[in-house]
Amino acid sequence: MNANEKSLMEAKANILKALGHPTRLWMAEQLAGGEKCVCELAENIDADFSTISKHLTVLKQAGVVIDEKRGKQVFYRLKVPCILNLMPCIEAVLQATAQSHIELVMDGRRSFSENMVIMSNNQMEKNR
Amino acid sequence: MNANEKSLMEAKANILKALGHPTRLWMAEQLAGGEKCVCELAENIDADFSTISKHLTVLKQAGVVIDEKRGKQVFYRLKVPCILNLMPCIEAVLQATAQSHIELVMDGRRSFSENMVIMSNNQMEKNR
DNA sequence: ATAACATTTGGTTGTTTTACCAAATGAGAA
DNA sequence: TTCTCATTTGGTAAAACAACCAAATGTTAT
């Protein structure tokens, strides 16, 4: 890793780190649906206003969101909308982890696809 | 944010946080090109072996990579290859930030595309 | 068995992050 | 102007993180 590569990694890691907190990730996902004022975001977060404000500052510094003051309120929106595109892959990792846990419990006696069949049968049971 | 949504956010944020460190992000990008043993990764990282090992542990427990011991060496590989797909969006954020900085310096006197023309002219100058 | 190698674990220390409270700011309303 | 509302800033304490060193582990080679 040379010096240039290193600063590129630092820059990219900084963005990922900004998204790497449950509250901030939730905020980013909310903003994917359009701009929101701080008060709207705060309605659904159980934390001090100052905490919320600081999380938004982190996202802003990372370049993920931008803010705009209009009247008494401050509105935040995604600066680059593609943030939403990250989620499918993150969810795939989650899914893969869940699958390994299942296989652990199953003691590796059945294959992935066999498990899928079993799971979907269970689902049908429930829905009956 | 209800309890379920909250734990989902925690799970996802955990993955992003694992990638949110320059060394770990670099490791993940290396592994996108195929499995590597710890020693191969270590060759290009200026840090103690124990530090490198701990970073790999973080990636492993986030479900990003899996390890396999073969002989004396331990090989790591991406558990879910889509990690690479995250990068274009991260780079777009970087790009957007760079662009705002340029516009700040330019005092907003020129448009994005005008700047692009100027920049590519500068590039041609250099290459002459 | 012993040595040599690759990697992990445990322990320590300094740094960063997070959350809260209290106080400050800035804008619009009275 | 003065009051209120929405948000940010400053300060502080607790928790989490990152890097290093030293020692432990598990594997082949001698």
Range of the domain at A109: 83-127
For position B54, which CATH number holds?
1.10.10.10
User: Is residue A48's pLDDT more than 90?
Assistant: yes
Same domain? For A18 and A62 the reply is: yes
Instruction: Say which nucleotide is closest to residue A48, CA to C1' distance.
Output: C20
Long-range contacts of A70-75 (CB under 8 A, 24+ apart): A73/A37, A73/A38, A73/A39, A74/A37, A74/A38, A75/A35, A75/A36, A75/A37
**How far apart are alpha carbons A62 and A28 in whole angstroms?**
12
Question: Which residues from B are below 8 Å from A5, CB to CB?
Answer: 26
Q: How far is the CA of A42 from the C1' of C22 (A)?
A: 20
Task: Write out the two tokens for B73.
Answer: 């060496």
- Out of A1, A21, A86, whose CB is closest to B45? A1
Question: Which residues from B are below 8 Å from A58, CB to CB?
Answer: none
User: Is residue B122's pLDDT more than 50?
Assistant: no
Same domain? For A64 and A16 the reply is: yes
Instruction: Note the pLDDT tens digit of each residue in B15-43.
Output: 999 999 999 999 999 999 999 999 999 99
Same domain? For A51 and A102 the reply is: no
Same domain? For A59 and A13 the reply is: yes
Question: Which residues from B are below 8 Å from A15, CB to CB?
Answer: 90, 93-94
Same domain? For B10 and B72 the reply is: yes
C25 closest protein residue (CA to C1'): A72
Three-class SS of residue B36? strand
- The more confidently predicted of residues A6 and B125 is A6
User: Is residue B115's pLDDT more than 60?
Assistant: no
Same domain? For B29 and B53 the reply is: yes
Q: Inspect the interface and report whether the beta carbons of B86 and A86 lie closer than 8 Å.
A: yes
Domain end call among B78, B95, B114:
B78
User: Is residue A18's pLDDT more than 90?
Assistant: yes
Burial (CB count <10 Å: 0-12, 13-18, 19+), residue B23: buried
Q: Average model confidence (pLDDT) for chain A?
A: 87
Instruction: Note the pLDDT tens digit of each residue in B54-108.
Output: 999 999 999 999 999 999 999 999 999 998 899 999 999 999 998 888 877 765 4
Same domain? For B97 and B123 the reply is: yes
Same domain? For A51 and A111 the reply is: no
Domain end call among B56, B78, B100:
B78
Same domain? For B33 and B72 the reply is: yes
Strand partners, B75: B37, B68
pLDDT at position B127: 40
Domain count, chain A: 2
pLDDT at position B113: 53
